[in-house]
Amino acid sequence: MRNLTSSLTNKNKFLIFGCGFSGTFFAKTIRKHGCTVLTSSRSNKNDPNSFVFDSENNNIPDENIFKGVTHVLSCIPPDKNGKDPVLKILKNKIQSLSPEWVGYLSTTGVYGNTYGNWVSEKDQPNPFQKRSQKRLNCENEWLESDLPIQIFRLPGIYGPGRSTFESIKNNKIRVIHKNNQVFSRIHVADITNAIIYLLENKNSSEFHPIINIADDEPCSQIEVIQYCYDLLKLRMPEPILFEEAKKELSPIAQSFWIENRRVSNELLCKKLGYKLIYGSYKLGLKNCFLNLN
Ligand SMILES: NC(=O)c1ccc[n+]([C@@H]2O[C@H](COP(=O)([O-])OP(=O)(O)OC[C@H]3O[C@@H](n4cnc5c(N)ncnc54)[C@H](OP(=O)(O)O)[C@@H]3O)[C@@H](O)[C@H]2O)c1
């Protein structure tokens, strides 16, 4: 049933910057709520609902794109200098629209290494990786933008078309064991649904500028991979110890194993009352399995 106090109506117009995996899922879903949605891409898509935006070539979208915009969501990562690509070029333009709401997809990488301990929005960010320092810089740019910004900190994103199943299928799987190492994750549908839930309840619940969206069960990579092999009824390869495996990992792949944290969703799920669709990797991966081509 539709929420009668919902701040979402079919008069809403969303601009989504960076329509990759999460942006596409969000756009599809929010259109089902009757909202108008225009999405950016760095290349011309030959689609009336898509417009070209590439921060690297100073390409400013056509004026028509901005008419009647009520909501903005950015899914674009920091540029190489750690600046936010959208704010760098369009900050004044977006401010002039006086949007009702602006969302920004960030990462839980800004928390840095918590050595396996739980981390929440109350904890001070302590980014270790260069890319996470850039990300924190972008978060701060948004927070200082005078826009009604809501930042969503996300752990590893997966869903149909981007999950361990694809890694297995493409022979990219590495079964690595590292003592006490866990990862947090989130199914793409829960990113979208949590944001829509917050928008629908915006008028009746306390506004939080920073919110983690993560599932209930941080766990080791091996548990996830084993579960996928079980669903496929295949035998999982023997695990390799991290110290051995790391010699062959790219620097970026290695960097993910340096940090170890459990991301808390208490604010979203307990305080604000969002009910996860896929509370655990098992539920989420079953959904991916059922959607395998
Ligand atoms: N993947 C993860 O596990 C993960 C985890 C936590 C947080 N995040 C962050 O959450 C956000 C959404 O993640 P995602 O995996 O859904 O993203 P994604 O699929 O990688 O999509 C990113 C989008 O950003 C656009 N983009 C990149 N650089 C741009 C630039 N300079 N100017 C204009 N557009 C640019 C890309 O445009 P094109 O479509 O033209 O390529 C793409 O549509 C990202 O900021 C990501 O870094 C990701």
pTM as predicted:
0.97
Q: What average pLDDT does this structure show over 221-249?
A: 96
Q: What average pLDDT does this structure show over 28-39?
A: 96
Nearest CA to ligand 1 atom 19: 20
By DSSP bridging, strand 262-263 and strand 118-119 are parallel
- For ligand 1, the distance from its centroid to the CA atom of residue 94, given in whole angstroms, is 20
Is 292 a residue whose pLDDT tops 50?
Answer: yes
- Give 154's Cβ-side CA count (13 Å radius): 22
- pLDDT band per the 50, 70, 90 thresholds, residue 109: very high
DSSP secondary structure of the chain: ---TT-S--TT-EEEEE--SHHHHHHHHHHHHTT-EEEEEESS--S-TTEEE--GGGT-PPPGGGGTT--EEEE-PPP-TTS--HHHHHHHHHHHHH--SEEEEEEEGGGG---TT-EE-TTSPP---SHHHHHHHHHHHHHHTTTS-EEEEEE-EEEBTTBSHHHHHHTT----EE-TT--B-EEEHHHHHHHHHHHHHTTTTS---SEEE---S--B-HHHHHHHHHHHHT-PPPPPEEHHHHGGGS-HHHHHHHH---EE--HIIIIIS----S--SHHHHHHHHHHT--
Nearest CA to ligand 1 atom 5: 156
Q: Is 51 in contact with 61 (CB distance < 8 Å)? A: yes
Handedness of CA 21, 26, 29, 34 (dihedral sign): negative
Point out the ligand 1 atom lying closest to the alpha carbon of residue 42: 40
Looking at residue 249, its pLDDT comes to 92
Is 25 a residue whose pLDDT tops 50?
Answer: yes
Residue in this structure with the two tokens 């808390």, named with its chain if needed: 264
Point out the ligand 1 atom lying closest to the alpha carbon of residue 55: 32
- For ligand 1, the distance from its centroid to the CA atom of residue 41, given in whole angstroms, is 10
- For ligand 1, the distance from its centroid to the CA atom of residue 284, given in whole angstroms, is 21
Residues in a beta bridge with 107: 154
Amino acid letter, residue 149: I
Is 207 a residue whose pLDDT tops 60?
Answer: yes
Is 113 a residue whose pLDDT tops 50?
Answer: yes
Looking at residue 7, its pLDDT comes to 74
Is 289 a residue whose pLDDT tops 70?
Answer: yes
- For ligand 1, the distance from its centroid to the CA atom of residue 2, given in whole angstroms, is 31
Q: Is 208 in contact with 121 (CB distance < 8 Å)? A: yes
The mean pLDDT of the chain is 95
Please choose from 56, 60, 76 the residue to mutate so as to test ligand 1's pocket, defined by most ligand atoms within 8 A of CB: 76
Q: pLDDT of 139-196, one tens digit each?
A: 999 999 999 999 999 999 999 999 999 999 999 999 999 999 999 999 999 999 999 9
Please choose from 111, 153, 154, 256 the residue to mutate so as to test ligand 1's pocket, defined by most ligand atoms within 8 A of CB: 154
Pocket lined around ligand 1, Cβ cut-off 6 Å: 18-23, 41-43, 53-56, 75-77, 79, 85, 105, 107, 154, 156-157
Q: What average pLDDT does this structure show over 44-72?
A: 94
- pLDDT band per the 50, 70, 90 thresholds, residue 18: very high
Looking at residue 1, its pLDDT comes to 44
Is 204 a residue whose pLDDT tops 90?
Answer: no
- For ligand 1, the distance from its centroid to the CA atom of residue 136, given in whole angstroms, is 16
- For ligand 1, the distance from its centroid to the CA atom of residue 76, given in whole angstroms, is 5
* Cα distance between residue 7 and residue 239, in whole Å: 49
Nearest CA to ligand 1 atom 15: 21
Residue in this structure with the two tokens 């933008």, named with its chain if needed: 145
* Cα distance between residue 66 and residue 96, in whole Å: 10
Residue in this structure with the two tokens 């009910």, named with its chain if needed: 275
